[in-house]
Amino acid sequence: MEKRTFIFDGKAKQLYATDDESLVIILYKDDVSAYNGVKKSLIQNKGILNNKISEIIYKTLENNGIKTHFVKRLDDRNQLCKKITVFPLEFIVRNVIAGSLARRLDIEEGIRPANTIFEICLKSDFLNDPLINEHHAVALHIISYEELKLIEQISMQINKVVTQLFDDAGIDVIDMKLEFGYDEHHNLLLADEISPDTARFWDKKTKNKLDRDRFKRDMGKLEESYSEILTRLTI
């Protein structure tokens, strides 16, 4: 597979065309950012770790019948993926109160609600990725009610599989951001990545944070935490 034209440079990944119009190559960078790029840094080997972590998660999802854009990991930093048109929406699944939800509702971080919370955000750096509801998303002509219902169902299935995978590794899945889109055959697929950049992972016993919050909150040891996740998932 030949890497060709550069397509897009994101906060943590780059996208390249290939000699197959239906496939793209995603390169995982060492860049880390927070608060829509206001806070930035480089963390050695972060891209390598996220590439490998996301590979394990996506292979597990595929083995459990969930369709994703992932094809294969090419090397330490590059993944081969199906080319898809992504909804400009982020779908958030929350198992435990944390982050913006704790601040927004003035609830203590770490509380586990009786229900699993499903949220939608509009992907817009200019608007700071505002929280919206399903009616807003439909009114913006982004998505239909039927698609939203299906994505919520798939998101809950993803949450179940990922939670079990990490539970076996002694890690709690606090929440995760998911993205979806259609491939050239109009198949609805999970896109982007699931990694410590896009999800919160806490050690089950110590409640130690093993995700990007360590960078957001100046806690340090980001590379070590990501490496710990990869080690546990690999074992």
Q: What's the helix, strand, coil split of the chain in %, to 5? A: 30, 30, 40
Domain boundaries along the sequence of the chain: 3-82, 87-234
d(CA 131, CA 219): 27
3-class SS of residue 30:
coil
- The Cα 21–Cα 219 span in angstroms is 42
pLDDT band for position 195 (50/70/90)? very high
Residue 48 predicted with pLDDT over 80:
yes
Q: Buried b / exposed e across 50-68, counting CB within 10 Å, b at 16+? A: bbbbbbbbbebbeeeebeb
Instruction: Band the pLDDT of 235: cuts 50, 70, 90.
Output: confident
The Cα-based distances of 201 to 65, 133, 136, 225 in angstroms read 23, 26, 30, 10
Exposure of 125 by Cβ count < 10 A (0-12 exposed, 13-18 middle, 19+ buried)? exposed
Q: Which among 111, 116, 108 is positioned nearest to 91, based on CA atoms?
A: 116
Name, in order, each residue with C-beta under 8 angstroms of 75's C-beta and a sequence gap of 6 or more: none
DSSP string, 86-120: E-SEEEEEESS--HHHHHHHT--TT---SS-EEEE
Q: Give tens-digit pLDDT for 74-113.
A: 999 999 999 999 999 999 999 999 999 999 999 999 999 9
Would the CATH topology of 3-82 be identical to that of 87-234?
no
Name the average pLDDT for the chain. Answer: 97
Given the candidates 3.90.1150.10, 2.40.50.140, 3.30.200.20, 3.30.470.20, the CATH classification of the domain at 87-234 is 3.30.470.20
- Asked if pLDDT for residue 57 goes beyond 80, the answer is yes
Per CATH, which fold does 3-82 belong to? Answer: Phosphorylase Kinase; domain 1 (3.30.200)
- The amino acid present at 115, given as its one-letter code, is N
**pTM (2 decimals)?**
0.96
Smallest CA-to-CA distance from 51 within 218, 178, 229, 176 is with: 229
- Residues 202/171, Cβ–Cβ less than 8 Å: yes
Q: What is the spatial order of strands in the sheet that 180-182 belongs to? A: 85-86, 180-182, 188-190
